[in-house]
Amino acid sequence: MRIVVAGGTGLIGRALTEEMAAAGWEVVVLTRTTSGAQSPDSEIREVLWDGRNLGDWAAEVDGAHAVVNLAGVSLAGDSLLSILFGRWTDAKKRAICASRVVTGEVLTQAIRRATRRPTVFIQASGVNFYGVEPEGPVSETQPAGQDFLASVCLDWEASSQPVESLAVRRAVIRSGVVLSAQRGILPMMALPFRLLIGGRLGSGRQWVPWIDLRDEVAAIRFLIERPEGAGVFNLVAPEAVSSDDFGRAVGRALRRPFWFPTPAFLLRLMMGEKSTLVLDGCQIVPQRLQDLEFAFRFPTAEQALADLYR
């Protein structure tokens, strides 16, 4: 069976394509630039597209079993400097939104034109959908928030909603912070601890909805393969932790102290509106995954971080 992945060169996409290829799937990665590193017998093929217009790549969607849309520019940035000082300008906000919405729309066009439409479509989103106001456990029934990131998630999810009217099962995955020791946000979160200046961020009481990369990939595969996998799913670990608890777990995993506080006003001064990524958070629960009896390999931050840094 064939799976087509947009955004397949990112943190989640790369791990997902490797998982599906190892399971015997034919994997097609839609990418703006090919790596040129493919071997002739590889189960993973890279196909060029621009993420905006229909082209030859659309033939890969025709007859595919699954399409996964993970495309979108990074919210935080790709380096510690860009995270701390790369503010959300109006141009950056437009790029964040367009890179998500336009991709969903053009994939929907390809599916509409396909003779043999996919069985399932996985649409990426984020727990930022819920905004920063909710208190108490937040399940998939919670309405959208009112801030910038909530509006991005609303438009992101809506971009592929029409595939449902084409008899394609669609699952929307609202992911938390995805943990990997090699890539993504965790190495940058761990850097202050490695420099012996790790500690509290803001009040330290804000929630950190997180998930281990291996559980993220397993959950996506689970939803692809399960006919009940339709609708919205929170992809977060079952254990809710505060920023302080998460930071202390990072410190223990790295055998480094948790002591150096960074006040909220300083983070807002450096990061501007983007500081919401570290100063705000909701207590998200993976209710629907648990209802389907999905088994998390790493249900607690202590377990995940100890394994990542053992």
Q: What is the pLDDT of residues 206-264, one digit of tens each?
A: 999 999 999 999 999 999 999 999 999 999 999 989 999 999 999 999 999 999 999 99
Distance CA 93, CA 87 (A): 10
Q: Which of 219, 197, 186 is nearest to 308 (CA)?
A: 186
Q: What is the pLDDT of residue 192?
A: 94
Q: Given a cut of 50, is residue 123 above it in pLDDT?
A: yes
- Residue range 263-287: mean pLDDT, rounded: 93
Does position 7 have pLDDT exceeding 50, yes or no? yes
Q: Is residue 68 predicted with pLDDT exceeding 60? A: yes
Does residue 34 have a pLDDT over 80? no
**pLDDT average, residue stretch 65-82:** 87
Q: What average pLDDT score do residues 193-202 get? A: 95
Residue 39's pLDDT band (cuts 50, 70, 90): very low
The burial of 99, by beta-carbon neighbours within 10 Å (0-12 exposed, 13-18 middle, 19 or more buried), is given as middle
The pLDDT of residue 38: 53
Confidence of residue 35 (pLDDT cuts 50, 70, 90): low
For residue 63, which of 11, 132, 15, 111 has the smallest C-alpha distance? 111
CA atoms within 13 A on the CB side of 293: 1
For residues 201 and 252, is the Cβ–Cβ distance under 8 A? Answer: no
Q: What was the pLDDT predicted at 266?
A: 93
pLDDT band for 200, please (50, 70, 90 cuts).
Answer: very high
Answer whether 147's CB lies under 8 Å from 133's CB.
Answer: no
| Tens-place pLDDT, residues 178-193 | 999 988 899 989 999 9
Confidence check: pLDDT of 36 > 70: no
For position 310, what pLDDT does the model report?
A: 87
What are the residue ranges spanned by the domains of the chain? 2-308
Q: Which pLDDT belongs to residue 101?
A: 96
Q: Please report which residue ranges of the chain form alpha helices under DSSP H.
A: 11-22, 58-61, 80-85, 90-113, 148-158, 186-194, 213-225, 243-254, 264-271, 276-279, 287-291, 301-308
pLDDT band at 78 (very low <50, low <70, confident <90, very high): confident
Report the topology of domain 2-308.
Answer: Rossmann fold (3.40.50)
Residue 37 sits at the vertex; the CA angle it makes with 32 and 40, to the nearest 5 degrees, is 110
pLDDT at 37 over 60: no
As a whole number of angstroms, the distance between CA 65 and CA 63 comes to 6
pLDDT in tens, 149-165: 999 999 999 999 999 99
Largest distance between two CA atoms of the chain: 60
**% the chain with pLDDT above 90:** 87
Looking at the predicted structure, is the pLDDT value of residue 308 above 90? yes
- How crowded is residue 211: how many other Cβ atoms within 10 Å of its Cβ? 27
Q: How many helices (H) and strands (E) does the chain have?
A: 12, 11
Average pLDDT, the chain: 94
Taking residues 285-293, report their average pLDDT.
97
